[in-house]
Amino acid sequence: MQYFIDVILPIPLERLFTYSITRAESEFLKAGMRVAVPFGKSKVYTALVFEIHQQQPVAYEAKEIHQILDDAPIITQTQLTHWQWIAEYYLCTLGDVLRAALPNSFLLESETIITKNNDKIINDVDLKDEEFLVYEALHHQSSLKLHDLISILDKKNVFPVINSLLDKDAIVLQEEVYEKYKPKLVRYVKLSSQYSESEKLQHLLEELSRAPKQRDVIMTLFSISAQTKKPVKVSDLSDASDASPAIIKTLIDKEILEEYHFQEDRVAYSGDANEASKTLNIYQEKALEEIQQSFEKFNITLLHGVTSSGKTEVYVKLIEEVISKGKQVLYLLPEIALTTQLVSRLETYFGGKVSVYHSKYSSHERFELWNNVLQNQPKAQIVLGARSSIFLPFHDLGLVIVDEEHETSFKQFDPAPRYHARDAAIVLASLFKSKTLLGSATPSLESYHNVKQGKYGLVEITHRFNDVMMPDIELVDIQDKHKRKRMKGHFSDRLIEEMTEALRVGHQIILFQNRRGFSPIVECTTCGHAPQCPNCDVSLTFHQYKNELRCHYCGYYTAMLKNCMACGSVELDNKGFGTEQVQEEAKELFPEYKVGRMDLDTTRGKFGYDKIITAFEQKEIDILVGTQMLTKGLDFRNVKLVGIMNADNMLNFPDFRALERSFQLMLQVSGRAGRTDERGKVLIQTYNPHHRILHQVSTNNYAEMYLEQMDERHNFKYPPIYRLIKITLKHKDFNKVNIGAEWYATGLRQVFKSNILGPEFPPISRIRNQFHKNILVKIPPQQSLSKTKKAIVKINNSFLSIKEFRSVRVILNVDNF
């Protein structure tokens, strides 16, 4: 009798691959365990056992595996089922899913490069002989590949040694370019020790009677310390005493206060829960009850609650209930930028039961969390994560929460699997027979449509917490302002007025400038030439800070030009404006205030966001300029004014969702204003003050926006009425893409008739020297999705079997919006 296993290889193969195993191995192995296998001429991969059986493969002779890597499955049966759904639905391979799902260190292969972990001191005695040999070798050579290890150890099976070195954190794998973990530093103050004698203190207070504000700060410091008996944060002190950072700084400079820092550890929170969750107000209470009732009828419920209505506290109650039954909770967030505030909030309620999972964490951190979830450890009972956390090995998932469900960053665009985490999470919950709660102040049309179709339940909260009024939104016609010379740079007189007043009374301000469609392009005023990226069909954008021209598609950059490349003129003008320019202008308008900026360029790295968010929270920044990152669920107490610099580039974005997205973005940014007692103010600058969407934003009229947009989707056959699959062909040869796309589209038209759009070159048709051409398949509501996909796969296979097209890359993107 012969024994075989089918495995998933971490490469995009259409089928599973079969290897032969011994009888003993067949008794030991289970689906979900890893094995090291040879592949091709000389490669070694980590593969995942999918099935154990006795059928010899027909087409090839099965090779033997190198070895077994696990004692027990690291992937559950439920995960395998889930992965199969993902592969089928999103038209990708199980290998694609495997790669996306597992932390790198689980997937060693022949190409893996190993280096020493210089951040950790390893004691030689802690290493076994073979581990020591490898570690020693890394002292002399900065990096090693698998075959080096094979010769150092003189054996084929080196994975276990690597694994145990990884376990000990002694080595790292080189694909990881992760930012090292930096704990967050929080500023504290205490009274300088020279005043511990009461006489000296007395003297000090007398002296300060001439500086009442400074005296106030000291008195407040005493009363906070007396109350909390804990170190005092600078931010708490300045809140409680109403003192500006400048006053506290003066006291520090005069050596009356002493400043010190504590590390706030985020990855490993060891503290206990120290607060009971909040008592819900009547609206939240009602929402909670309605959600519970809704769950009796529906597997999925949408919580539509205006910004600052206290949705998070409602989630907390649901989470409490689920974890009290010993079940796990997955809390999905669009971007980890949000987690800083949320993690600390959840930790005060749930202590060490909260774990965060994110691709920016190092492979080692992710590996640890993976195991915690797999072993059902209490410290991973609540997983807070971005989209990739849907791949974790949950055991007993009791609830999925998808916060800010309308966010487009839940969809993965590249590489495959091109999944939507909200939708994949719903499927995951259903595999556990559990419920999913979607939450948003501005639900996606597709989720709201599902409510209207009777597929999801709906619960609403229309009151902000504490009955704070929705912000007052004012539209500013900048065309008119330009005509009447009432603009200073990109700031209208209205915006400047409101900013001046807000700053005067000590409020903070957010200025929003959308990144999409923004391009400070350099143009020659003499001949009109704009410098282009040599690899892509786009103009380079100007980055003032580094005085560089950059391509946002391929990363190409060059120093800013002194003369026009075409005519030599020195009169180069930068058109358009971005966050950087807004920041510069704001600094000039308000030189005595601190202006910060939050966008992709200022927040690179794991803790980039944190620094800016913390600085803003602690009022070290008065005016924060940012992109859509600012829209996301952040809770800043002291912001009373939000300025949207230009609404038009959002509204005019060439995409069928542009208006829906504009509505969501603007309402979300507006929601950052006036979250506590006073009513906030929002100014939207626009050339189209009569645009319907802007009116819907200013009156917070979701219902009208929904109806009007759905009309458009009906008329133009777009989601959520029709479904979409986008097919992209890529090649460096323009003709090949062109001819190939024609062939492909003709094949599709024979089956789907007029529901095929294109082939069409996208606005940017060449990226990284590859030409792109798109074909769009529109799927009417009655048409079977699975049959449609089968037909596409068939056409795809015939396309790739044609010799001249074989080198063309085809990308299938299901629900590509």
Backbone angles phi, psi at 393, to 5 degrees: -80, 65
Does 92 appear as a known binding residue? no
Contact 647, 476 (CB under 8 A): no
- Partner from Zn ion, ligand ADP, none contacting 166, C-beta within 5 to 8 A by type: none
Total residues interacting with ligand ADP, rule: CB under 6 A: 16
Report the alpha-carbon distance of residue 458 to residue 448 in Å, rounded: 8
- Of 422 and 481, nearer to ligand ADP (C-beta) is 422
Task: Look at the block and give the residue holding tokens 């929002």.
Answer: 682
Report the alpha-carbon distance of residue 816 to residue 722 in Å, rounded: 12
Report the alpha-carbon distance of residue 422 to residue 723 in Å, rounded: 17
Contact 18, 4 (CB under 8 A): yes
R_g (Cα) of the chain, nearest Å? 29
Q: Segment 451-510, which members bind ligand ADP (CB under 6 A)?
A: 465
- Of 114 and 314, nearer to ligand ADP (C-beta) is 314
- Partner from ligand ADP, Zn ion, none contacting 566, C-beta within 5 to 8 A by type: Zn ion
- Partner from Zn ion, ligand ADP, none contacting 526, C-beta within 5 to 8 A by type: Zn ion
Pairing type for strands 34-39 and 67-68 reads antiparallel
Binding mask 228-267 for ligand ADP (x = CB under 6 A): ----------------------------------------
Give min distance, CB of 816 to Zn ion, in A: 22
- Partner from Zn ion, ligand ADP, none contacting 312, C-beta within 5 to 8 A by type: ligand ADP
- Is residue 321 involved in binding ligand ADP (CB under 6 A)? no
- Partner from ligand ADP, Zn ion, none contacting 278, C-beta within 5 to 8 A by type: ligand ADP
Q: Which of 112, 238, 307, 685 binds ligand ADP (CB under 6 A)?
A: 307
- Partner from Zn ion, ligand ADP, none contacting 93, C-beta within 5 to 8 A by type: none
- Partner from ligand ADP, Zn ion, none contacting 529, C-beta within 5 to 8 A by type: Zn ion
327 to each of 375, 377, 396, 794, how far by Cα in Å? 13, 11, 5, 42
Report the alpha-carbon distance of residue 352 to residue 354 in Å, rounded: 5
- Of 233 and 529, nearer to Zn ion (C-beta) is 529
Residues with Cβ within 8 Å of residue 467, at least 6 apart in sequence:
none
Report the alpha-carbon distance of residue 730 to residue 768 in Å, rounded: 11
Q: Locate 612 and state its tokens.
A: 């800016």
- Is residue 312 involved in binding ligand ADP (CB under 6 A)? yes
- Is residue 599 involved in binding ligand ADP (CB under 6 A)? no
Report the alpha-carbon distance of residue 105 to residue 95 in Å, rounded: 16
Q: Segment 195-234, which members bind ligand ADP (CB under 6 A)?
A: none
Give min distance, CB of 710 to ligand ADP, in A: 25
Q: Which stretch binds ligand ADP (CB under 6 A): 50-58, 89-97, 305-313, 520-528?
A: 305-313
648 to each of 234, 510, 661, how far by Cα in Å? 40, 18, 12
Report the alpha-carbon distance of residue 237 to residue 213 in Å, rounded: 13
Report the alpha-carbon distance of residue 610 to residue 600 in Å, rounded: 13
Does 554 appear as a known binding residue? yes
Q: Which of 10, 310, 393, 471 binds ligand ADP (CB under 6 A)?
A: 310
- Is residue 668 involved in binding ligand ADP (CB under 6 A)? no
- Partner from Zn ion, ligand ADP, none contacting 729, C-beta within 5 to 8 A by type: none
Which stretches of the chain bind Zn ion, using CB under 5 A? Answer: 524, 526-527, 529, 533, 535-536, 551, 553-554, 556, 564, 566-567, 569
- Of 134 and 280, nearer to ligand ADP (C-beta) is 280
- Of 462 and 569, nearer to Zn ion (C-beta) is 569
- Partner from ligand ADP, Zn ion, none contacting 310, C-beta within 5 to 8 A by type: ligand ADP
708 to each of 711, 721, 751, how far by Cα in Å? 5, 14, 32
- Is residue 284 involved in binding ligand ADP (CB under 6 A)? yes
Binding mask 632-661 for ligand ADP (x = CB under 6 A): ---x--------------------------
What crossing angle do the helices spanning 212-228 and 234-241 adopt, rounded to 10°? 120
Report the alpha-carbon distance of residue 504 to residue 432 in Å, rounded: 55
Give min distance, CB of 465 to ligand ADP, in A: 4
64 to each of 4, 37, 49, 330, how far by Cα in Å? 9, 7, 13, 39
- Is residue 311 involved in binding ligand ADP (CB under 6 A)? yes
- Of 568 and 780, nearer to Zn ion (C-beta) is 568
- Partner from Zn ion, ligand ADP, none contacting 313, C-beta within 5 to 8 A by type: ligand ADP
Give min distance, CB of 652 to Zn ion, in A: 23
Q: Segment 18-57, which members bind ligand ADP (CB under 6 A)?
A: none
Give min distance, CB of 711 to ligand ADP, in A: 29
Query: Quick one: how many helices (H) and strands (E) in the chain?
Result: 26, 37
- Is residue 443 involved in binding ligand ADP (CB under 6 A)? no
Q: Which of 281, 299, 408, 688 binds ligand ADP (CB under 6 A)?
A: 281
Closest among 414, 589, 593 to 507, alpha carbons compared: 593
Q: Which of 105, 163, 241, 309 binds ligand ADP (CB under 6 A)?
A: 309
One DSSP character per residue, 428-464 reads HHHHTT-EEEEEESS--HHHHHHHHTTSSEEEEE-S-
Give min distance, CB of 438 to ligand ADP, in A: 13
Contact 56, 2 (CB under 8 A): yes
Binding mask 519-548 for ligand ADP (x = CB under 6 A): ------------------------------
- Partner from Zn ion, ligand ADP, none contacting 515, C-beta within 5 to 8 A by type: none
- Is residue 278 involved in binding ligand ADP (CB under 6 A)? yes
- Of 283 and 419, nearer to ligand ADP (C-beta) is 283
- Is residue 313 involved in binding ligand ADP (CB under 6 A)? yes
Closest among 389, 398, 353 to 370, alpha carbons compared: 389
**Strand ranges (E), 338-421:** 354-357, 382-385, 397-403
- Of 313 and 523, nearer to ligand ADP (C-beta) is 313
Q: Which stretch binds ligand ADP (CB under 6 A): 301-309, 361-369, 474-482, 547-555?
A: 301-309
Contact 417, 88 (CB under 8 A): no
- Partner from Zn ion, ligand ADP, none contacting 54, C-beta within 5 to 8 A by type: none
Task: Look at the block and give the residue holding tokens 């492979």.
Answer: 363
Closest among 587, 619, 497, 561 to 248, alpha carbons compared: 619
How far is residue 106 CA from its own chain's centroid?
23
- Of 364 and 464, nearer to ligand ADP (C-beta) is 464
463 to each of 294, 639, 665, 672, how far by Cα in Å? 20, 19, 20, 15
Report the alpha-carbon distance of residue 672 to residue 642 in Å, rounded: 7
Report the alpha-carbon distance of residue 103 to residue 106 in Å, rounded: 6
Q: Extract the annotated binding site for Zn(2+).
A: 524, 527, 533, 536, 551, 554, 564, 567
Q: Which residues bind ligand ADP (CB under 6 A)?
A: 278-281, 284, 305, 307-313, 465, 635, 675
Q: Extract the annotated binding site.
A: 524, 527, 533, 536, 551, 554, 564, 567
